[in-house]
Amino acid sequence: MDLASTPSNASDSNEYPGAIPSQFDTSHDANTKRRSSSRSIKRRRFDDELVEYSLSLPGASMGKGEKRIRTQSYTSQVPEFLAVVTPKPPAPTNERRRASKGAGGGPGRKSHRKGQLSQLSTKDLGRWKPTDDLALIIGVQQTNDLRMVHRGIKFSCRFTVGELQSRWYALLYNAEISRVAIAAMRNLHPDLVAHVQQQALYSTAEEELLGSLSSNSHPAIEKFQELLEQNPHVFYPTRTAKSLMAHWQLMKQYQLLPDQVVLPLPKGQGDDVLTFSDAEDTMNDNELQDYKEDGIDVEMQIADRIEKKNIRLLENSLSRWQVLVQSVAGGSVELDKNTLAVLRGRLVRYLMRSREIAVGRSTRDHTIDVDLTLEGPSAKISRKQATIRLRNSGDFFMSSEGKRPIFVDGRPILQGNKVKLNHNSVIEIAGLRFVFLINQDLINAIRQEAVKVNIPM
C-alpha cells in the first residue's frame, strides 16, 4: 500500500499505516452485539527490523537535520589474483503481506534472515585474521612454497602446514570464503597493511641479486639503492635500501652468499664426521698449556694475604659480637671449650673463663670482671656484690659481699654467706635476673684430671 493513498482521517481511525482494512465495517451496524477490531495484532519489533521497515517505505525520507552516518573504510592494496565472485543483486523488498491476526512474524521473514546469516558465516572466520590471510598471500607469491611460509612468517596463531594448505585452497576455490577474506583485507588500516608487507619473505630472484655483491666488500647503502632502482620489477614494492642491506648482512653472517666458501667438516676414521670430543682426545696435553700473565702470581699472593688478615680480624671480634647476636637472636647458648660457665641475662651474657670472677658495678676508679651496668639499672648494686669460685671438685660457689642480699633460686643470701650454684640456677641481684649455665663437659674433664693427680678435694 502506498502512503499517498492513505486517507486523511487516518489519525481518527484505529489503523496504523500499512495495516490491512477489515472486511467487515462495523460503523453502519451499531446493533450488532459483537465488535471486532480492524487492526492486526501488534508485536514488538527489534532494532534491525525497525530500520529495515523504515527504509522499505516508499515515501520515507530523511529530514533536513538528519544526516546519514557511514562507516569509513580504508582501501588498501590487496592482491587481486583471487577469484572474486560477484555478489548477487539484492532482491527487491516485498510488500508487507496482508494478514489478520499474528501476521507480524511469518515464515517468509525468518527464511530471509536465515539466508543472510548463512551467506556471512564462513569456516574458521574467527581464527584466521585478515592480516594472516594477507601475509599468507604475500608469502606464497614470494616463495611459492607453503613450508617456507610456515617457517618464515609469524602468524597470529600457530598454524600447521596442513592448515595453511587448506586455507590457501579455500581462498582459491571457495568463492564465499574468498569474497569475505578480500573484503576484510580491503578494510584493513594502511599501517597494518604496510607492517605486513614489510615482513614479506625474500624470493629467490631477490636473493640472487643480493648475492651479486661480494662478501669481501663493504657496500654502502647507496649501492643497495642503486640495485633497487635498476631492478624494480624483481624486488617487492615495499623494499628499501636499508632493508636490503640488513638482509645482505644476514646472508653474509650465515654463509649464504655465493662467493663464500663453505669448508667441509673434518672427518675422523672412515667417513664419520669428527666430533668435538674426538678432536679433544686427539690433542696432546702439551698443546693445552695454561697461559699465565706476567705478575699474576704476585697479585694473587697479595690478595691472599689481605683476605687472611680480614679473616683474623673477624675471628678476634667474634667473641665481642657474639653477646649481642645471642641477645637479639634469642637462640641457645653454645659453650665452647674455654668457657667454664655462663651468666646469662636478658640483654647480655657474661662468660666465665677463669676459676674466680667478681660480680658488681664498675666505676671510674674501680674495674670488675662482670659489670652488671650493661644489663640494666645498677644504682643499688655494690661495686663488688659477689664472687663466683670454681673448686677442684667441680662445684661452683657464690659468696655474697655486698650490703644488699642476693637471691639464688628464690632464697636470700646475706652478706658473708655462700651458696652452691647448680646448672640453670636463677640469680637475682637488685632486680636484675640471670641464669647460671655450667659447661658440663669441661667440668667433667676437670674432675677426671683432678682424680688422676690425686688432688685433695
CA atoms within 13 A on the CB side of 115: 9
Cα distance between residue 21 and residue 279, in whole Å? 103
Cell of 67: 544526516
* Class in CATH terms, 341-453: mainly beta
Average pLDDT over residues 85-104: 44
Q: Specify the pLDDT at position 326.
A: 59
pLDDT at 25: 46
pLDDT at 105: 45
At which residue does the C-alpha cell 677442684 appear? Answer: 392
Neighbours of 133 (CB within 10 A): 26
Q: pTM surpassing 0.85?
A: no
- The type of residue at 354 is S
What's the pLDDT tens digit per position in 23-74? 444 444 445 556 666 666 666 655 555 545 544 444 444 444 444 444 444 4
pLDDT for 3 equals 39
Cβ atoms of 40 and 19 within 8 Å: the answer is yes
Residue 429 in grid coordinates: 641481684
Binned at pLDDT 50, 70 and 90, residue 99 comes out as very low
Neighbours of 446 (CB within 10 A): 17
Q: Is 343:352 a contact under the CB 8 Å cutoff?
A: yes
Decide if pLDDT at 137 tops 50: yes
Query: Does residue 234 register a pLDDT over 60?
Result: yes
Mean pLDDT for the stretch of residues 373-394: 86
Backbone torsion region of residue 434, taken as left when φ is above 0, otherwise alpha when ψ lies between -120 and 50, otherwise beta = beta
Specify the pLDDT at position 392: 81
Identify the pLDDT of residue 201: 94
Could you tell me which residues are beta bridge partners of residue 341? 352, 438
Residue ranges of the chain assigned to CATH 2.60.200.20 = 341-453
Reply yes or no on whether the pLDDT at 113 is more than 60.
no
Give me the mean pLDDT over the 269-281 stretch. 68
Greater confidence (260 vs 386) lies with: 386
Specify the DSSP element, H or E, that contains 432. Answer: strand 432-438
Read off the pLDDT of each residue in 65-86 and give the average, rounded to a whole number.
Answer: 45
Confidence of residue 267 (pLDDT cuts 50, 70, 90): low
How sure is the predictor about 2, in pLDDT bands with cuts at 50, 70 and 90?
A: very low
For residue 176, the model assigns a pLDDT of 93
Average pLDDT rounded to a whole number, residues 257-267:
71
Using the predicted structure, report yes or no on whether residue 142 has a pLDDT greater than 60. Answer: yes
Average model confidence (pLDDT) across the chain? 74
The stretch 122-140 carries a mean pLDDT of 82
Q: At what angle do helices 130-143 and 161-173 cross, to 10 degrees?
A: 90
Q: Is residue 297 predicted with pLDDT exceeding 90?
A: no
Contact between 434 and 427 (Cβ < 8 Å): yes
Mean pLDDT of 202-210: 93
